[in-house]
Amino acid sequence: MEYFYIGLFLIFSGSLISIVFPEKIKAQVVSFFSGLGTIFVVIPALNVLFNGITISKSLYLNSPIGKIDFVIDPLSAFFILVISIMSFIGILYSVGYIQPYLNKNNGISSHYIFLSILICSMLGVVTVQNSLFFLILWEIMSLSSFFLVIFENYKKEVLSAGISYLIYMHISVIFIILGFIILSLKSGSLEFNSFKTVLSSNKMFSDVIFIILFTGFGIKAGFVPFHNWLPK
């Protein structure tokens, strides 16, 4: 699991280090550190997939969060591979894509900082097992992606699309919070593992929770009919 944390650190630190470099090579600097970080993140994911194991690491914070388990099992390992590799490819693509925006006060440095925050929070979301900390990472993910959406904020249609996105994301998180509150009260814990027993013991209850969470995650994912924000 240490490799996973090192990878997150490298991905994020690359965007911070790029601040001191000229705009024309910021993308290359971020790409370099993102590449290194991706390698470290992918190592434990591949280990889990090929050896059929599960690895975990626990952190302890003050109340109300308490114990936080980060787990890489076969399912989260698959998503780690998808997120990290596709994010790295996206950063490589940005080397050319970002060229027209250089030296035009577009906030290239902040763009890469929010991009690295988005990548790290997505990787955190698929590994964390504490519902409250999941929501914190989820909110970080939504806010960082909002700042990426409004990169061309001098355009009214872009700013409008960004605000629409932000509104829908917070409607989405209301449903997710509601589902997690009900599950936490019912199970007496914030841990995802404790939700399994509650959900398996009552089919009607699990169906209601499914609808609530499906609505929340569906809005975020842009599923029809929750996709109104996406065309913008």
Amino acid letter for position 63:
S
What φ, ψ does residue 73 adopt, rounded to 5°? -110, 180
131 CB neighbour count, 10 Å cutoff = 22
pLDDT tens across 186-221, in order?
A: 988 888 888 888 888 888 999 999 999 999 999 988
Rounded percentage of the chain residues whose pLDDT exceeds 90: 64
CA distances to 125, 198, 218 from 204, in Å: 27, 11, 20
Rounded percentage of the chain residues whose pLDDT exceeds 70: 99
- With a cut of 90, say whether residue 12 has pLDDT above it: yes
CB-based burial label for 38 (10 Å; 0-12, 13-18, 19+):
buried
Which of residues 164 and 153 earns the better pLDDT score? Answer: 164
pLDDT tens across 45-57, in order?
A: 999 999 989 999 8
Closest among 174, 21, 27 to 99, alpha carbons compared: 27
Which of residues 107 and 209 earns the better pLDDT score? Answer: 209
